[in-house]
């Protein structure tokens, strides 16, 4: 797990991971299985980050879960429009890990055990 305080740094790291997977001839999910992003971040917000991920030919395979203090109808619509796979509000934080695992499984990336074995 890696964490970033702004969207620009997160995007730069995602690009580096993409390059690494391409150079190794490995699928992106061998390096990363899900992106969880706050909507409100400095330098690049979560909607913009999600849009860039979903427009990238390699990174678009990754599920993106947008996380915010409050998901209003307007924010949910915007998240849908940029391709977010799921959206969750911070009061529902206990469901965050479950939703992330569900997205990973839905993409067919395998079980946690399989993912751990690939990472080694």
pLDDT at 112: 58
Determine the straight-line distance between the first and last CA of the chain, rounded to whole angstroms: 15
Q: Please indicate, yes or no, whether the overall pTM of this predicted structure exceeds 0.85.
A: no
Q: Quote the number of domains for the chain.
A: 1
Residue 2 lies in a domain: no
Give the pLDDT mean for 59-78: 88
pLDDT-derived band at 114 (thresholds 50, 70, 90) equals: low
Q: What is the pLDDT of residues 74-83, one digit of tens each?
A: 888 999 999 9
Predicted confidence band of residue 99 (pLDDT cuts 50, 70, 90) = confident
What CATH number does residue 20 fall under? 3.40.50.2300
Q: At what angle do helices 73-81 and 46-55 cross, to 10 degrees?
A: 20
Whether 66 maps to a domain, the answer reads yes
Q: Answer whether 36's CB lies under 8 Å from 96's CB.
A: yes
Domain annotation covers residue 17: yes
Domain holding 50, by residue range, is 7-119
Residue with tokens 């695992």: 101
In this predicted structure, what is the pLDDT of residue 113?
Answer: 62
């Amino acid at each position: 797990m890696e964490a970033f305080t702004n969207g620009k740094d997160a995007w730069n790291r995602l690009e580096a991971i993409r390059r690494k997977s391409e150079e190794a001839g490995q699928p992106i999910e061998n390096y990363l299985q899900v992106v969880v992003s706050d909507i409100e971040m400095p330098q690049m917000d979560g909607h913009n980050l999600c849009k860039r991920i979903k427009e990238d030919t390699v990174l678009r395979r990754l599920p993106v879960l947008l996380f915010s203090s409050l998901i209003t109808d307007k924010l949910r619509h915007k998240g849908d429009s940029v391709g977010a796979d799921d959206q969750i509000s911070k009061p529902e934080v206990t469901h965050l890990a479950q939703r992330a695992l569900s997205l990973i499984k839905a993409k067919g990336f395998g079980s946690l055990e399989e993912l751990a074995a690939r990472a080694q």
